[in-house]
Amino acid sequence: MEDNFVTKDNERVKSFFKALDRMLDKIERSLTNSKPTLNGERFLTDKEVYQRLRVSRSTLQEWRYSGQIPYIQIGGKILFRESDIQAMLDKNLKKAFR
């Protein structure tokens, strides 16, 4: 009778566990980069906004002070609704012309 035991040294087993490790890494990265929503809305910090828009911190502050971008202030904490950022971008979109 032939013994066909699968061990941890089997190449198929090694390949399977490597694939599981890659999936786990992707899931962990996804969870790290995601933000929970509050009533379906995501909120961003000033740092997240100016990094995403690739503007300086002072530019973002000027947009706040001039009313170009809505924000929420609770104590010293400034938050931006992601939908407000998208609305500002949509409002200022300049379409290509021909």
Structural domain boundaries in the chain: 43-91
Query: CA 39, 41, 42, 45 torsion: positive or negative?
Result: negative
- β pairing state of 72-74 and 77-81: antiparallel
pLDDT tens, position by position, 22-42: 988 888 777 666 666 777 788
Q: Are 51 and 10 in contact (CB under 8 A)?
A: no
Give CATH for domain 43-91. Answer: 1.10.10
Task: Quote the mean pLDDT of the chain.
Answer: 86
pTM of the model: 0.60
Residue type, 10: N
Other C-beta atoms closer than 10 Å to the C-beta of 83 total 13
Chain position carrying tokens 């992601």: 82
Distances (CA, A) of 8 to 2, 25, 75: 19, 21, 56
Q: What is the pLDDT of residue 73?
A: 93
Q: What is the pLDDT of residue 13?
A: 84
